Structure 1
Amino acid sequence: MTSITTQIKNNLAIITLNRPEVFNSFNREMALALQKALDDCASNQEVRAILLTGSGKAFCAGQDLKEVTSPELNPGFKAILEEHYNPIISRIRNIEKPVVAAVNGVAAGAGANIALACDVVVASGQASFIQAFSKIGLIPDSAGTFFLPRLIGLQKASALMMLGDKVSAEEAEKLGMIYKVFSAETFMDEAEKIAFTLSQMPTRGLALTKKALNASIQNNLEEQLTLESKYQIEAAQTEDYSEGVNAFIEKRKPNFIGK
């Protein structure tokens, strides 16, 4: 059984973390397989949006501790961070396609932070998020210290990281940590609907929006205004912009192609 599965339908790639027997915790094989799946999606012109989810009861429980406590299997923390998690986060943020995290169950440690690095995060009412690192004497990785304070503020992020509190899906939505919560019964349908909607939108414009948001984290106001001008001019030269304007004038539904 492969640790990562990918299904492509209607311009949407559904990537599933597939180690349900260990709550989709990461070992080296799964981390490298996820990187390859993201690379394949980046180069596949048929794919215009990505949905990332987990199989079974969990989204992802973070690092497989059996691997790091095994003398034979342990790759070491340097390799785990520099070869596993950091490249995953970089791919999610730099891929020029929207990435939706569909958190179906517990998202702990690196699993939580990989979800929070995605462009849109939705969760099942049965899901929860936990910065589990402090429980075993580690610090949050996988860009947790970067994204979580920006999503919910320094004070709340600091408390969640140090105390290791479990956050329900409903509380995560109220905090602004995630976009929306859906009932367990409708969750996957709603998540796929959101991801499919994004896949049918002018995805070149969405890619430029993503690049602008990435840059906004470090730019000052003047730098960001300059960058917005650059990307807006680029967006205005796309076929999708012309199609969107013509569809508006002609009072019809636009047919975007991602170019």
Structure 2
Amino acid sequence: MSTKPTPNIEVHRRSGTATVLLQNPAQRNALTKEMCLQLVGALAGLSADPDVDVVVLRGDGANFSAGIAIDQMEQVLFDRDQDGDLVNHLDLLDRTLRECAKPTIAAVQGLCFGGAWQVAAACDIQLASNDVAVAITPAKIGLVFPRAGIERLVQRVGEDRAKYLLLTGAKITAAQADAWGLFTTVVHAEEFEDQLAALIAQLQANSPYALLRMKEALSLAAQGIDHPGHDQWWATLWEENAANPDLVEGRAAFLERRPARFGESTGEK
């Protein structure tokens, strides 16, 4: 008697890149509570790992993810902690991705439904194949899409298109998704792996210090320019920025017409 493989994630490391695979083939890589917990733990570890430059999130096989596993919806979205308070594991995963200290790429192929789009859009960059199919379908099962997902969707596509996607649950093509801005970029399927490798190389060539601080600055900017504490944060950063070793190395490399070797003087890489 055969048994279904247990939904899981795997992390593969190669040359500074950590690839995190969603593995739930029986449900087209739909997310379970255990997968969300594993992802949060793995991402926290990768964020702090000095040997990791870039994190890539992708589905194992042909599909990115079909969203939340329907038979696990209560455990994923409406779990309870020891005090009886609601816990939304999708939102916790979303926050962990947004707060990751390393650049994150969602490599999206095949199906990207519902909460899977929210997870992909929480990454810094979404590289999608032109075979991708997108649908945000919570209305079809009586569910309200999570706040973070709705807010991000409106930011990406505007209120009118967000209404269309959420109220109809319609499946749209990669061409529509590209035109509406649901992903950072959409490339031909046959070029997908080469484009992903080129994107990783671009990120790895840049200063880890600059990438981290600009990720933080962009997060602050998204909160609004009048947010309390921003002026002090920027003042502190600018003092630090003036003396950071990567700036010294980057400027020297430019003047000497050679590739920069960031982190070598500090032993970070």
* TM-score exceeds 0.5: yes
Cα deviation per residue 1:143-176 (whole Å; 9 max; x = unaligned)?
2112111122222212211111223222222222
Aligned mate of 2:245, from 239, 247, 252: 239
Cα displacement (A) at 1:220: 2.3
CA shift, 1:222, in A, is 8.3
Q: Contact 2:33–2:76 (CA<8 Å) still a contact in 1?
A: no
Q: Are the counterparts in 2 of residues 51 and 101 from structure 1 also a CA contact under 8 Å?
A: yes
Give the alignment of 1:124-143 within 5 angstroms: 124-141=129-146, 143=148
Distance 1:252 1:109 in 2: 45
AA partner of residue 75 (structure 2): P
8 Å Cα contact 2:76/2:90 also seen in 1: no
Residue 253 (structure 1) aligned with residue 259 (structure 2)? yes
* Structure 2 segments unaligned to the other structure (5+ residues): 81-85
Contact 2:132 2:174 in 1 (8 A): yes
**Comparing 230-239 and 1-10, the one that deviates more:** 230-239
Distance 1:117 1:206, change over 3 A: same
Pairwise CA RMSD: 2.3
- Unmatched segments (≥5 aa) in structure 1: 69-73
Q: Give the number of the structure with larger relative contact order, counting CA–CA contacts within 8 Å between residues 6 or more apart.
A: 1
> Which amino acid in the other structure matches residue 58 of structure 2?
T
Deviates more, 1:231-240 or 1:220-229: 220-229
Q: CA–CA distance in 2 between the matches of 1:60 and 1:24?
A: 5
SS of alignment partner, residue 194 of structure 1: helix
Q: 1:256 to 1:173 in 2, by over 3 A?
A: farther
Does 2:70 align with 1:75?
no
Q: Distance in 2 between matches of 1:253 and 1:86?
A: 39
| 1:10 shift after superposition | 1.3
TM-score (norm 1): 0.89
Q: Quote the residue 1:153 is aligned against.
A: 158
Query: Is the Cα contact below 8 Å between 2:20 and 2:55 reproduced in 1?
Result: yes
Name the larger-Rg structure. 2
Judged with a 3 Å threshold, the aligned counterparts in structure 2 of structure 1 residues 161 and 233 are, in CA distance, closer, same or farther, namely: farther
Query: 1:213 offset after TM fit, Å?
Result: 1.2
Listed as ranges, the matches of 1:1-259 within 5 Å are 3-68=8-73, 75=75, 77-79=77-79, 82-141=87-146, 143-220=148-225, 227-257=233-263
Q: Name the amino acid aligned to 2:94.
A: I
Q: 1:186 aligns to what SS in structure 2?
A: helix
Match of 2:16, as an amino acid? N
